[in-house]
Amino acid sequence: MEASGTDGSAVWDDFVDMAKTIKRKSDTDGGQLYYIVIGLDGCSNIHSQCAKYAKDNVNVTYMLPQNDSIGGYSPAIGWWFQKFNIEGNQFVLCVDPDMDNEEMFPRRLTNGNLAMSSTFYFLDASPNSTGRPNVEIRTKGREGINRNLVSFYSNGMTGEGKPEHAIDGKEFPLLKQNLFVMILEFLINY
C-alpha cells in the first residue's frame, strides 16, 4: 500500500484503494476477511483515520442523563476500532509488538515514526474452497488448559483481602499465548 499522507502516513483513501486492489486480485467480489498485522504507529494511524471517517459519515449521538453534579455530566469520548469494513470486506487489526522494536527495525520515517511500526501486512483469512480459512488465530492449549488468557491475582500489602507478599499493591501476572496458523495451498499442474 502506498501511503499518500503529507507526513508519510496512510489516509482513508489509501485503505479504500488497498481494499479495491485486494478485491481485483481475488476470485470473489467481497465478503472477505483480512487480518492487518501492524505496529503501534500503524494502529494509531488506522484509529485516527477511522475516527475521522466515522465523524464525517456516521451520525453518533450521545444521550446524556441529567444530574446535579458541579459542571454537569461527564461523557466518555473516544474510539477503539478493532475491525472495520471497506468495500464489502472486513479488516481485523492485529498489533505485533515486535514491529515496534527499535533495535530490530531502527529505520524511521520523515514523521519520526518507526518504519516497521507503520508497515501494514494484509493477510487473507477468507475460507478456501473447502470452507477452511487461509489464516486462523488459535490459542495454545495442552492437557485441557486453554491458554487464551491465564491470569492470577496476588494480593500485596495494600491489595484487597489478606496480603500474600510485601509488594505495595495487587500483582496481576498474565499469560496469553496466541499463534497464527497459515494454510498454504499449491496447485501443481502435470
Q: Is the pLDDT assigned to residue 38 strictly greater than 50?
A: yes
pLDDT 10s digits, 104-148: 888 988 888 898 998 888 888 887 777 776 666 655 566 666 655
- Tell which residue, 5, 15, 18, 38, has the closest CA to residue 111: 5
> Which run of H or of E encompasses 138?
strand 135-139
Mean pLDDT of 28-36: 81
Side chain identity at 161, as an amino acid letter?
Answer: G
3-state DSSP percent of the chain in helix, strand and coil, to 5: 20, 25, 55
The confidence score (pLDDT) of residue 172 equals 61
Q: In terms of DSSP bridges, do strands 174-175 and 121-124 run parallel, antiparallel, or are they unpaired?
A: unpaired
Which among 175, 172, 125, 173 is positioned nearest to 148, based on CA atoms?
Answer: 175
Q: Which residues pair with 94 in a beta bridge?
A: 37
